[in-house]
Amino acid sequence: MYAIVRAGGRQEKVAVGDEFELDRRGAEPGEQITLPAVLLVDGEQVTSDATALAGVTVTAEILAHTKGPKIRVLHYRNKTGYKRRQGHRSHLTRVRVTDISAS
């Protein structure tokens, strides 16, 4: 069984035991969070109806808070002496899916 969940503006395909990263959550490591399901596949049965998915809960445990890779942005204009360098690292949360239950 796997589900497609909405996680931080993206959609992730997850199964029980999978680990993935999403945008930073306010909870501490070791706490449980629930993620909203967009699609549920259980063998041959596919559930995509919004009313049926309201009863589906995907529970995940927060493992750690991390940072993404360094992204370097460089703005440059030719013949004007204008250069500007900027960096960015996304704040991420690593989670492990512990349960997918359809009531």
pLDDT string in tens for the chain (103-residue length): 889 999 878 999 999 999 999 999 989 999 999 999 888 888 788 888 888 888 888 999 999 999 999 999 999 999 999 999 999 999 999 999 999 988 7
pLDDT of residue 1: 87
How far CA 46 is from CA of 10, 38, 59, 69, 91, in Å, comes to 20, 11, 19, 35, 33
Q: pTM for this structure?
A: 0.80
DSSP annotation of 28: P
